[in-house]
Amino acid sequence: MQTKPFRIGTRGSPLALAQAHETRDRLIAAHGLPSEMFEIVVLSTMGDRITDRSLSEIGGKGLFTQELEDMLISGGLDFAVHSSKDMPTKLPTGLFLSAYLPREDARDAFIGRTAKKLMDLPRGATIGSSSLRRQALIKRLRPDINVVTYRGLVDTRLRKLAEGQVDATLLAFAGLKRLGKADVPTEILDPDLFPPAPAQGAICIESRVADDRINSLLEAINDPRTHETVTCERAFLAALDGSCRTPIAGYALSDGETIRFTGMILTPDGSDYFRVSAEGKSTETEKIGTKAGEDIRLEAGPDFFLSWT
């Protein structure tokens, strides 16, 4: 019988803490355990500490996970809670994504200061975004727009916007909703025109492969449809060797029997892009995503990827 609290690893941002608390609350409800049986352990990652450069410059997605994974491997944590879109496609040996919470809205939110909609911004306006995917999609739709690197916590980015440092910014709508800021966006972007990042809006839990006791605990809060769709999207990303250095979008939907996936790859300046669609049984979700990635890579041809290096 468990006597010590389960140790939940998380980053220290308000959004990361909200996600860790949601995970804890779902486990309490699922197992009838008291809150004292869960301890939230906050760790600072390199991605949190370096905020003056884009992720593509300083190493990519692993910057938000390494410290948590190191402690998970050493046994200092029982499991770790992450934003799924921050997770590299290759995890350390012995770790895996064991559970996903029900997915929030995966769309991107536009927050405009000088215009309420992206397409209504004046020519030459400036948008702040740290995401290469968002930068490329903005430039595809509005090549006249100036896009600048723009990192920091959600409140920091909103403060910079209010101060007039940029005319607009984009954030994940899911994160704003989890922070109680669903009224902040001035436009929710159509995923057909502005497709989200693979795994956007989904909270995942990382644990040790061989830890049956913890994985059994987490199984009770795993959402099967989110697991299916995010697995498909991450397989697409892996087939393209995707990271924060590459503009890749992908989104899957599941009805429990069928998976429908749409993906896109872009050049960083948004001038060239390719789309792919795929469909299949939800029992073959990883194969569907992998094949979609292979198909779009073949269609784009090797020269397309020179802009990614």
Give the domain-ending residue among 145, 165, 188. Answer: 188
Within a domain: residue 267? yes
Q: What is the pLDDT along the chain (309 residues), one digit of tens a residue?
A: 567 899 999 999 999 999 999 999 999 999 999 999 999 999 876 555 455 545 554 455 556 688 899 999 999 999 999 999 989 999 999 999 999 999 999 999 999 999 999 999 999 999 999 899 999 999 999 999 999 988 788 999 999 999 999 999 999 999 999 999 999 999 999 999 999 999 999 999 999 999 999 999 999 999 999 999 999 999 999 999 765 568 999 999 999 899 999 999 999 999 999 999 999 999 999 999 999 999 999 999 988 888 776
Do 94 and 138 sit in the same domain of this protein?
no
- Exactly one of 25, 48, 52, 86 is catalytic; name it: 86
Any catalytic annotation for residue 86? yes
Tens of pLDDT, residue by residue over 241-294, are 765 568 999 999 999 899 999 999 999 999 999 999 999 999 999 999 999 999
Q: What CATH number did the domain enclosing 279 receive?
A: 3.30.160.40
Residue 21 CA to residue 11 CA, distance in Å, equals: 12
Range of the domain at 61: 1-101+202-222
Question: What string of H, E and C letters represents the secondary structure of 161-203?
Answer: HHCCCCCEEEEEHHHHHHCCCCCCCCEECCCCCCCCCCCCCCE
Residues 211 and 94 in one domain: yes
pTM exceeds 0.85, yes or no: yes
Please tell me whether residues 87 and 138 are part of one structural domain.
no
The answer to whether the beta carbons of residues 167 and 55 sit under 8 Å apart is no
| Full strand arrangement of the beta sheet holding 248-254 | 248-254, 258-266, 273-281
Burial 223-247 (b: 16+ CB within 10 A, else e): bebbbbbbbbbbbbbbbbebbbbbb
* Total domain count, the chain: 3
In a domain, 31, yes or no: yes
